[in-house]
Structure 1
Amino acid sequence: MKNSLKISAIALAFAAFTFSAKAQTTTPTSTSTTTANGVRFSIGVDAGIPTGKLSDSYNFNIGGSVQADIPVANQLFVTVNAGYNSIQGKNNVIVDGATFSPTNIQLLPVKAGLKFFPVSNFYIQGEAGAAFALNKSDVGFNKTAAFVYAPQVGYQFQLGGKNYIDAGVRYEASTKFNSDVDNSKVNFFGLRVAYGF
Structure 2
Amino acid sequence: MKKVLLTTATTLFLSAMAFSQTNYNRGFRLGFGLNGGFPTDGAYDGSVGIDVRTQYDMSRKTSLTLTSGYTHLFTEPEDVGFIPAKLGVKYFFGNQFYAMGEAGAAFGVNGNLDNSLILAPVFGFANKYLDASLRYEHYSDYETDQIALRLAYGFSLKKKK
Return the TM-score normalized by structure 1: 0.66
User: Is 1:149 matched with 2:119?
Assistant: yes
- C-alpha distance in structure 2 between counterparts of 1:102 and 1:80, whole Å: 33
- C-alpha distance in structure 1 between counterparts of 2:153 and 2:77, whole Å: 33
Partner of 2:2: 3
Partner of 1:132: 107
Partner of 2:158: none
User: Is 1:173 matched with 2:148?
Assistant: no
Structure 1 vs Structure 2 CA RMSD: 2.7
Aligned amino acid, residue 99 of structure 2: I
CA shift at 1:157, angstroms?
Answer: 3.5
CA shift at 1:68, angstroms?
Answer: 1.0
Percent identity, aligned pairs only, is: 31
Q: Matched residue of 2:93: which SS?
A: strand
Encode CA deviations 1:119-157: one digit per residue, 9 max, x unaligned. Answer: 11111111000011111xx32x4xx31110111111014
- C-alpha distance in structure 2 between counterparts of 1:76 and 1:121, whole Å: 12
- C-alpha distance in structure 1 between counterparts of 2:2 and 2:22, whole Å: 35
- C-alpha distance in structure 2 between counterparts of 1:74 and 1:119, whole Å: 9
Q: Matched residue of 2:2: which SS?
A: helix
Q: Which has the larger radius of gyration?
A: 1
CA shift at 1:72, angstroms?
Answer: 2.0
Encode CA deviations 1:31-80: one digit per residue, 9 max, x unaligned. Answer: xxxxxx5111100001100112xxx2421100100101112233100111
CA shift at 1:27, angstroms?
Answer: 6.6
Q: Matched residue of 2:45: which SS?
A: strand
- C-alpha distance in structure 2 between counterparts of 1:104 and 1:150, whole Å: 23
Superposed counterparts of 1:1-197, under 5 Å: 3=2, 7=5, 28=24, 38-52=27-41, 56-89=42-75, 101-135=76-110, 138-139=111-112, 141=113, 144-158=114-128, 164-176=129-141, 184-197=142-155
- C-alpha distance in structure 1 between counterparts of 2:46 and 2:23, whole Å: 40
- Residues matched between the structures, number: 147
Encode CA deviations 1:72-121: one digit per residue, 9 max, x unaligned. Answer: 233100111111100111xxxxxxxxxxx331120111000100001111
Structure 1: gaps of 5 or more residues = 30-36, 90-100, 159-163, 177-183
Contact 2:89 2:100 in 1 (8 A): yes
Aligned amino acid, residue 132 of structure 2: A
Return the TM-score normalized by structure 2: 0.79
- C-alpha distance in structure 2 between counterparts of 1:47 and 1:134, whole Å: 19
